[in-house]
Chains A and B, each alone.
Chain A
Amino acid sequence: KAGVTQTPRYLIKTRGQQVTLSCSPISGHRSVSWYQQTPGQGLQFLFEYFSETQRNKGNFPGRFSGRQFSNSRSEMNVSTLELGDSALYLCASSWISGGSYNEQFFGPGTRLTVL
């Protein structure tokens, strides 16, 4: 079974631009979560999608948004990029929602650099 894939792997943007990152979950997984990883703040939860609906959101400004498609693939968008948005953006998928916790499988991440 293929793992979580994220594209692109690396991205360089300038301040003020916007960016869209893509995540394809493991086949059969319906929940997709996004995390931001930086040296200073560590791994921080951005949001989680299930069945095309955002069910949970972390403490990030509205510039960060996402969506999920009917095939469970997800995208996240960051508008009006700031230097502080430079980070590794990780996508994680799990196979079921609700009930007991299910393992989140992480992709390799997209390294975003904002100049």
Chain B
Amino acid sequence: QQQVKQSPQSLIVQKGGISIINCAYENTAFDYFPWYQQFPGKGPALLIAIRPDVSEKKEGRFTISFNKSAKQFSLHIMDSQPGDSATYFCAASINRAGSYQLTFGKGTKLSVIP
């Protein structure tokens, strides 16, 4: 059972454009929604994260939009750059007896072309 669905699987954007990646979740017990960026040969690195009591969070060129009623959240990358080319994972965290377990989407491979 996939609890976090991510789309699209791959995305090609021109330099300077906006990259948009969407995620939907099922479990309303999730209470923290991070986005991770992963380059080949590296582990995932936290990009930006949001809690469900906030509808939007912006950090530099990266913005998360969160729709609690629809159980959806998305990542927007403004002014996309070739250096942003990586795989992006949305995730949702649930607290199980003090242990925070991340459930990941399947990932989106972003290619930003010059």
Using a CB–CB distance below 8 Å, which chain A residues touch chain B?
4, 31, 33, 35, 42-45, 48, 50, 55-56, 58, 90, 92, 94, 97-98, 101-109
A45 and B100 contact, Cβ closer than 8 Å, known pairs A4-B43, A90-B43, A106-B44:
no
Residues of A within 8 A of B95 (CB): 101
Using a CB–CB distance below 8 Å, which chain B residues touch chain A?
31-32, 34, 36, 41-46, 49, 89, 91, 93, 95-107
* Shortest Cβ distance from residue A62 to the other chain B in the assembled complex, whole angstroms: 19
A56 and B96 contact, Cβ closer than 8 Å, known pairs A42-B107, A43-B89, A45-B102:
yes
B43 in complex: contacting residue of A48, A56, A101, A106, CB < 8 Å: A106
- Cβ–Cβ contact A97 & B45, under 8 A: no
**Count the A-B residue pairs with Cβ separation under 8 angstroms: how many?**
64
A104 in complex: contacting residue of B97, B98, B100, CB < 8 Å: B100
Main secondary structure of the interface of A (DSSP, over half): strand
- Cβ–Cβ contact A45 & B44, under 8 A: no
- Cβ–Cβ contact A108 & B100, under 8 A: no
- Cβ–Cβ contact A43 & B45, under 8 A: no
- Cβ–Cβ contact A90 & B97, under 8 A: no
Residues of A within 8 A of B103 (CB): 45
C-alpha gap A94/B105 in the complex (Å): 21
- Cβ–Cβ contact A56 & B104, under 8 A: no
- Cβ–Cβ contact A104 & B96, under 8 A: no
For the complex with contacts A43-B104, A56-B97, A94-B100, 14 further pairs of A-B residues with Cβ separation under 8 Å are: A42-B104, A43-B91, A48-B99, A55-B98, A56-B101, A90-B44, A98-B98, A101-B31, A102-B100, A104-B46, A104-B102, A106-B36, A106-B43, A109-B43
23 A-B Cβ contacts within 8 A? A31-B99, A33-B101, A33-B102, A35-B102, A42-B106, A44-B104, A45-B103, A48-B99, A48-B100, A50-B98, A50-B99, A55-B98, A56-B96, A56-B97, A92-B43, A94-B100, A97-B100, A98-B98, A101-B95, A101-B100, A103-B34, A104-B46, A107-B43
